[in-house]
Chain A
C-alpha cells in the first residue's frame, strides 16, 4: 500500500535503536567504527546524530514529495500561463545545481576520504576506528585510497568539462535572446497555441497505436512484411507469437481466441503468448 512510507519507517526504527542509542549499525560494527567530532577530540553529541538521522531518512522522503507536488502545480499552471515555460527551465536549472553540489561533495570525499554524507560533513561527524591498525590493514587501506583518488580525479575532470560546456551555452543564449528579443514578443503567443494544438493531435495518434503505415516506425520491418495477412491493411500495433510472424494486435488476438495457433505456420500460440512490439 505505502511502500515508500514503510521503508522510511523501517529505517527510522533501525537508526533509532542503533545510532541514537549510541550503539553501532551493522556496517559500523563490522568495520569497527565510531563517530567523533570534527576536531577528533570527543564523541559526537546526540542532537547532531538526531539531526543526521532525520535529514538522512525523512529528508529525502519529504523532499521528493514536495518536489512532486511542486511539479504538478507547475504543470497545471503551464496550461494557462505562457511564461511558465521559462519558469520550468529555471526549475530544471535549479535541479541541475543541486546535482552539481552532490557531485562536488562526492568528489571531495573521494579525494579526502572523510564525510560520505553531506549532512555528516555539515555536522562534522567523522569516523574513528576502535582498534590499532595492523601493517596488513594499512597496506590495504593505502591501495584502496589510491583507487578512490583516481575516481575522484576522473570525476573532477568530468565536472570541469561539463561546467565549461554549460557556461558556454549560457553565454551563447544570452547573446541570442538579446538579439531577437523584439521579434520574439510579437510572434510567440500565436505560435505556441498552434504548436500545442497540433502536438496534442499527433501525440494521440502516435501514442495510442503504432502504425506501420508510418514508415519511420520499426524501420527494420521490410515493406513487404508491413501488411497484416488477416485484415490486409498496414499493420496496427505489430504483435508476434512464439513463431515470429507479425500481425495487428487486434487481428491476431481475435484469431487466437478462435484457434490458438499461428495462421501462417500453425505453431501453437496462446493469447497470453502474444507480444505487442514496442
Chain B
C-alpha cells in the first residue's frame, strides 16, 4: 500500500506545492529510487523569531505507512523551539504519535501542522525546557534573543 500511495502523494504535492510557497519551500523524496526517505524545508513564519530563516526536516516513512505515522525530525542542532529537542531535532507533536495518527492525513498535511507549530509553540509539552520556561514567564525579549542567538550561530557555523 505505502509505495503506491506515496507515488500518488508525490504527484499531488508537485501539483499543490506552489500554493504553499509562503510556508513550504521543499517537500520531495531524497532519491527517486527510495520513496521511504523524504526531505522538506519549512520557511519561518512572519511575526515569529523564525522569520527569514528556513528549516530542514528529515522524513522517514515506515513500510506500513500510512497505517503508522511518518517519523519526522528537524535537522539536529538547527531548531531552537519549545517543542523540539535541540540536540536531536525530535519533534513533540501529537498527530505524529502512533495513538493519535490518522491514515487520512498525508505528508502535506503534516507539513502544514508543523508550520503551525512554528507559529504557535505549545509551552505545556516542551522538549526544550529552557525556551518553554522563558516563554511561559512572558519574557519575549529574552525568548527572541535566545532564538536569534541560536539561529545566528547556526548560520555562522554552516
CB-based contact B103/A230 at 8 Å: yes
Cα(A230)–Cα(B104), bound, Å: 6
Q: Mark B1-29, 1 if CB is under 8 A from A, else 0.
A: 10011001100100000000000000000
Cα(A229)–Cα(B8), bound, Å: 11
Q: Which residue of B lies closest to A254 (CB)?
A: B67
Binding site secondary structure of chain B: loop
Interface core residue of B1, B4, B9, B68 (most chain A CB under 10 Å): B1
Cα(A115)–Cα(B106), bound, Å: 74
Of the four ranges (under 10, 10 to 19, 20 to 34, 35 or more), the interface on chain A belongs to 10 to 19
Cβ of A232 < 8 Å from any Cβ of B?
A: yes
CB-based contact B1/A231 at 8 Å: yes
Cα(A272)–Cα(B9), bound, Å: 30
CB-based contact A254/B1 at 8 Å: yes
A231 touching B68 in the complex, CB below 8 Å, given contacts A255-B103, A263-B103: no
CB-based contact A230/B66 at 8 Å: yes
CB-based contact A231/B4 at 8 Å: yes
Cα(A123)–Cα(B9), bound, Å: 78
Residue among A229, A251, A259, A264 making CB contact with B1, cutoff 8 Å: A251
CB-based contact A264/B4 at 8 Å: no
Cα(A12)–Cα(B20), bound, Å: 81
Cβ of B63 < 8 Å from any Cβ of A?
A: no
CB-based contact A258/B8 at 8 Å: no
Cβ of B140 < 8 Å from any Cβ of A?
A: no
Contacts of A255 in B (CB 8 A): 67, 103
Contacts of A250 in B (CB 8 A): 1
Residue among B8, B64, B67, B102 making CB contact with A232, cutoff 8 Å: B8
Contacts of B102 in A (CB 8 A): 263-264, 266
Tell me the number of A-to-B contacts counted with CB atoms below 8 Å.
35
CB-based contact B103/A232 at 8 Å: no
Residue among A258, A264, A266 making CB contact with B68, cutoff 8 Å: A258
Residue among A233, A258, A259, A263 making CB contact with B104, cutoff 8 Å: A263
Cα(A259)–Cα(B69), bound, Å: 13
CB-based contact B5/A258 at 8 Å: no
Cα(A231)–Cα(B9), bound, Å: 9
Contacts of B64 in A (CB 8 A): 258
A232 touching B12 in the complex, CB below 8 Å, given contacts A258-B67, A263-B102: yes
Query: Which B84-122 residues have a C-beta within 8 angstroms of A?
Result: 99, 102-104, 106
In angstroms, how far is the closest chain A Cβ from the Cβ of B144? 38
In angstroms, how far is the closest chain A Cβ from the Cβ of B104? 4
Query: Which B22-62 residues have a C-beta within 8 angstroms of A?
Result: none
Cα(A254)–Cα(B2), bound, Å: 12
Q: Which residue of B lies closest to A257 (CB)?
A: B67
Q: Which residue of B lies closest to A231 (CB)?
A: B5
In angstroms, how far is the closest chain B Cβ from the Cβ of A119? 63
Contacts of B104 in A (CB 8 A): 229-230, 263-264
Contacts of A263 in B (CB 8 A): 102-104
* 19 A/B residue pairs, CB under 8 Å, sorted by A: A229-B103, A230-B5, A230-B66, A230-B104, A231-B4, A231-B8, A232-B5, A232-B9, A233-B4, A233-B8, A250-B1, A251-B1, A254-B1, A254-B67, A258-B64, A263-B103, A263-B104, A264-B102, A266-B102
* Given pairs A254-B1, A259-B99, 16 additional interface contacts (CB within 8 A): A229-B103, A230-B5, A230-B103, A230-B104, A232-B5, A232-B9, A232-B106, A251-B1, A251-B103, A255-B67, A258-B64, A258-B67, A258-B68, A263-B103, A264-B102, A266-B102
What are the nearest 3 A-B pairs in CB distance?
Answer: A232-B8, A229-B104, A263-B104
The interface of chain B, by Cβ under 8 A from chain A, is 1, 4-5, 8-9, 12, 64, 66-68, 99, 102-104, 106
